[in-house]
Amino acid sequence: MRNIYLLIFFSFIVSMGFSQTNNVGINTCEPAQKLHIAGSESTFRIEMLDSLNNLSNRNTVNAPLYVDENGVLTLEFDLLYNTEENDEIDGTLPSTNVYQINVDNVEQELITKEVTVTRPSYLEIKYSISFKVSLNDINEKITDQLARVIRNYILLNGNTDRKFGMTSKCYINSSLNGVNTTYYNNASTYIFLDIGTHIISFYGSVGSGSTTDSTFVNFGLDQDMLLMRIY
């Protein structure tokens, strides 16, 4: 039995390597990092992260693995901001009403968010904004058969050179019996942020390409969602 234990011990030593820089290698005698697992089919297993021991592992698809600020591996990813069950945009505010009259297009800031990062980062944004289209602010139906384009997008620090997360819908109607309901613009985008504090502005716009008609768009009438996280 003693010989068997010695054989196992020496087999383990052979499978591991230690370099003069205190690196540890598995299946290699020349580890290039503090821990180096060699071999094209090498794997390692952490049972703390499996579906039996971690609620973030849903056992349906491969779960993404993250590293927290202390260098600890985790399946949990902290969100910077999440509307959750709340409503992100108050559709009763004047800033949510976009009125196109005597111009071919109107763009207006709806809401803003402030984001501060201490390192160069990527900001992921997902949003859903509701809206309703009318001829005017007393909600008369549009019947002129002219198409309206309703857009939503994001500006970084007020810079209009780049519009992030652009999304749009086209509205047209020719009958008083036509549908006039609540619609949604949905989009996701990534924005690179330098170190510092940044203003993230969400815009709504409406345009018809004509200066002889009018359009009234009320954004934020229904459930609106915003999710942001930093990479």
Does residue 9 surpass a pLDDT of 50? no
What does the H/E/C string look like for the chain? Answer: CHHHHHHHHHHHHHHEEECCCCCEEECCCCCCCCEEECCCCCCCCCHHHCCCCCCCCCCCCCCCCEECCCCCEECCCCCCEECCCCCCCCCCCHHHEEEEECCCEEEEEEEEEEEEECCCEEEEEEEEEEEEEECCCCCCCCCCCCCEEEEEEEEECCEEEEEEEEEEEEECCCCCCCCCCCEEEEEEEEEEECCEEEEEEEEEEEECCCCCCEEEEEECCCCCEEEEEEC
53 Rama class: left (phi>0) / alpha (psi -120 to 50) / beta: alpha
Contact 149, 168 (CB under 8 A): yes
Residue 3: pLDDT band with limits 50, 70, 90: very low
The whole-number average pLDDT for the span 174-196 is 93
The whole-number average pLDDT for the span 169-173 is 94
Of 6-10, 26-30, 35-39, 212-216, least confident by mean pLDDT is 6-10
> What's the whole-model pTM score?
0.75
Token pair of 83 as six digits: 């509307």
What is the residue extent of each domain of the chain? 1-44, 46-76, 81-230
Contact 95, 219 (CB under 8 A): no
pLDDT of residue 180: 82
Q: Of 230, 222, 140, which is closest to residue 182 (Cα–Cα)?
A: 222
* Top-ranked range on mean pLDDT: pick from 59-63, 68-72, 201-205: 201-205
pLDDT of residue 12: 45
pLDDT of residue 60: 67
Contact 217, 135 (CB under 8 A): no
pLDDT of residue 19: 53
Of 78-82, 125-129, 171-175, 227-231, least confident by mean pLDDT is 78-82
Between 82 and 73, the higher pLDDT residue:
82
How is domain 81-230 classified at the architecture level of CATH?
Sandwich (2.60)
Separation of alpha carbons 37 and 30, rounded Å: 10
The whole-number average pLDDT for the span 97-115 is 95
Does residue 166 surpass a pLDDT of 80? yes
Does residue 63 surpass a pLDDT of 90? no
Report pLDDT digits (tens) over 131-147: 999 999 898 999 998 99
